[in-house]
Structures are given as C-alpha cells and as structure tokens.
C-alpha cells in the first residue's frame, strides 16, 4: 500500500514502482510463471560467469558444460527457453573457449555434456550448436559420430 497510486497521487515514482511490484507479484504468485522466470534468469546468468582467478582454462570450460548438463537434467525441458539455452551453449563454444580446448583431453567429456544439455533443443536451433561441436571435435571420429548420432536421432 506504501506505493499505491491512490495513496500517492502526486508521485510518478509511486505509480511506476507500484506497476513493478504488481508485475513481480503476478510472476511470483503463479508457480509456472515463477519457474519460467527462474529458468530464464539461470540460463541468462550463465553468460556473465567468469573463470575463478580470471584465468580461462580447459577445465573451467568443461566444468561449465558439466554444470549446464546437470541443470538441464533437472528441469522440464519442454517448458524451457530454447533461445537462451542455444545462446549460452554458443557462448560456451565461442572461438576463445574452443582455442583453450584445442588438443585438450577433456574434449570428449565436454562434447558429451553439451550433447546431453541440448538433447531437447528445438531442431531449428540445433544446427549452429552442432556445427561448433564439430569444429571442437576436430579429427576425433568417435566424437564426431556422437554428434552426428544426435542430429540423426533428432531429425527422425
């Protein structure tokens, strides 16, 4: 009531703040909306993470992929934000991260984590991610086979 426009008719701040409070209540009071809100914030927040100590390493990239896989195993993938997931995975597979991963023994593990995380990603959003994974796989035919298997399965 502190910010209700009827109690503060001369305050434009109160009216604007009351609208924000009303929208927050609307999201938080509905379990499905709150879940979607939390999910989107979690994925979008992943992009702002940085390596501890500021040092980018293959272990850090692999660790972030493992966290993403664990997260995606726990959520309702049919109600997830596909665009946010795709953007995060592409960020995880950026040129800088791929350069750090080059010749790492962690590549097969990273690819497996990402493949599990993107299992339910819309097929239309899958190709850019799998293209980046193929670059990461390099000459490793076993890893390339896993990527192609996911694509074939999803296309069916």
> For the segment 23-39, what is each residue's pLDDT rounded down to a tens digit?
778 878 888 877 777 76
Integer Cα distance of 91 and 88 in angstroms? 5
> For the segment 82-99, what is each residue's pLDDT rounded down to a tens digit?
888 888 899 889 888 888
Measured at the alpha carbon of residue 113, what is the angle toward residues 49 and 102, in degrees to the nearest 5? Answer: 75
Domain assignments of the chain as residue spans, ordered by start = 1-46, 54-155
Predicted local distance difference test score (pLDDT) of residue 44: 58
Instruction: Give the pLDDT band of residue 121 (cuts 50, 70, 90).
Output: confident
Residues 62/18, Cβ–Cβ less than 8 Å: no
Mean pLDDT of 46-56: 61
Predicted local distance difference test score (pLDDT) of residue 47: 53
Predicted local distance difference test score (pLDDT) of residue 141: 93
What sign does the CA torsion over 87, 106, 64, 39 have? positive
Predicted local distance difference test score (pLDDT) of residue 85: 86
């Amino acid at each position: 009531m502190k910010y209700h426009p009827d109690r503060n008719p001369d305050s434009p701040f109160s009216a604007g703040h009351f609208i924000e409070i009303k929208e927050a209540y609307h999201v938080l009071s509905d379990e499905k909306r709150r879940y979607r809100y939390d999910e989107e914030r979690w994925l979008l927040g992943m992009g702002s993470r940085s390596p501890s100590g500021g040092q980018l390493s293959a272990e850090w990239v692999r660790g972030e992929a493992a966290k993403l896989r664990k997260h995606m195993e726990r959520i309702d993938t049919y109600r997830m934000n596909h665009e946010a997931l795709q953007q995060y995975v592409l960020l995880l597979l950026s040129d800088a991260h791929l350069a750090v991963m080059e010749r790492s023994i962690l590549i097969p593990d990273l690819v497996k984590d990402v493949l599990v995380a993107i299992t339910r990603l819309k097929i239309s959003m899958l190709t850019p991610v799998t293209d980046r994974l193929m670059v990461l796989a390099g000459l490793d035919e076993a890893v390339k086979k896993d990527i192609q298997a996911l694509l074939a399965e999803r296309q069916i």
